[in-house]
């Protein structure tokens, strides 16, 4: 789940009534196109659960997310543990308070072939994924994305859309485990403070990974 969340960088648009009506009866691809058009920011809540290869539910969590087009993202897990993931447009920062550890990765590496990147850049859909309509079930229209990467992070990702946009996402990883994410309380084009996407490692935390090099000029006498 951490690996998936690192790749998350997405946003959602404000619908006109006509667009919503059209999306409500269209294919999943049509709903995706409507959902991702004209968007610049998004906030909402998520609830996710993990089911292992044998069908046993092992983990669940919930929290909030904030996204700003084109590439800024914040994912805060609030329960049952706390974890913060911030994509600032250059790097992805993952902070685990319990471990007092910050992991940093180059964002372009992490977000390549992520299923949520298609929300901010629909052109990636046909460039980086094989796309297949999955019909309707559970009250949603489903679209399956299969990464064309040489070493994909997941077997497939299914995006479920209702009349209001993206409502659910499920994906199966290389170990056969399935993660189910349900989205709610979307606030489209909300004003998000820039500080939300500016992560500063807490004092005393171990920072590992692709840490940016900060250059300074010597002070003049």
Structural domains in the chain, CATH included, are 2-209 (2.50.20.10)
pLDDT of amino acid 14: 22
Q: Is residue 1's pLDDT more than 80?
A: no
Question: Sign of the C-alpha dihedral, residues 141, 160, 70, 173?
Answer: negative
Residues 76-87 have a mean pLDDT of 95
CA distances from 29 to 51, 110, 132, 144, 204 (A): 27, 24, 9, 10, 46
pLDDT of amino acid 114: 66
What's the farthest any 2 CA atoms get from each other in the chain?
71
Q: Is residue 8's pLDDT more than 80?
A: no
**Structure tokens that stand for 215 in this block:** 């250059």
Closest CA to 43 of 200, 198, 199, 197: 197
Residues 183-203 have a mean pLDDT of 91
Q: How far apart are CA 24 and CA 43, in angstroms?
A: 22
Confidence band, pLDDT 50/70/90 cuts, at residue 64:
very high
Confidence band, pLDDT 50/70/90 cuts, at residue 119:
low
């Amino acid at each position: 789940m951490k690996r998936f969340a690192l790749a998350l960088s997405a946003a959602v648009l404000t619908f006109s009534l006509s667009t919503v009506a059209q999306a409500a009866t269209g294919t999943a691809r049509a709903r995706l196109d409507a959902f991702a058009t004209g968007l610049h920011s998004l906030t909402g809540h998520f609830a996710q659960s993990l089911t292992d290869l044998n069908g046993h539910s092992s983990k669940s969590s919930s929290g909030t997310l904030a996204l700003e087009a084109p590439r800024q993202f914040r994912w805060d897990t609030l329960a049952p543990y706390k974890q913060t993931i911030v994509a600032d447009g250059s790097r992805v920062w993952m902070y685990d308070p319990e471990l007092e550890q910050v992991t940093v990765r180059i964002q372009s590496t992490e977000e390549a072939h992520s299923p949520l990147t298609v929300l901010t850049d629909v052109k990636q859909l046909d460039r980086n994924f094989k796309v297949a309509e999955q019909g309707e079930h559970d009250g949603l229209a489903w679209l399956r994305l299969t990464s064309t990467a040489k070493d994909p992070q997941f077997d497939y990702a299914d995006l479920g859309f209702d009349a209001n946009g993206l409502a659910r996402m499920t994906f199966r990883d290389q170990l056969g485990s399935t993660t189910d994410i349900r989205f709610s309380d979307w606030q489209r084009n909300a004003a998000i403070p820039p500080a939300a996407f500016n992560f500063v490692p807490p004092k005393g935390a171990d920072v590992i990974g692709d840490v940016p090099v900060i250059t300074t000029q010597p002070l003049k006498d």
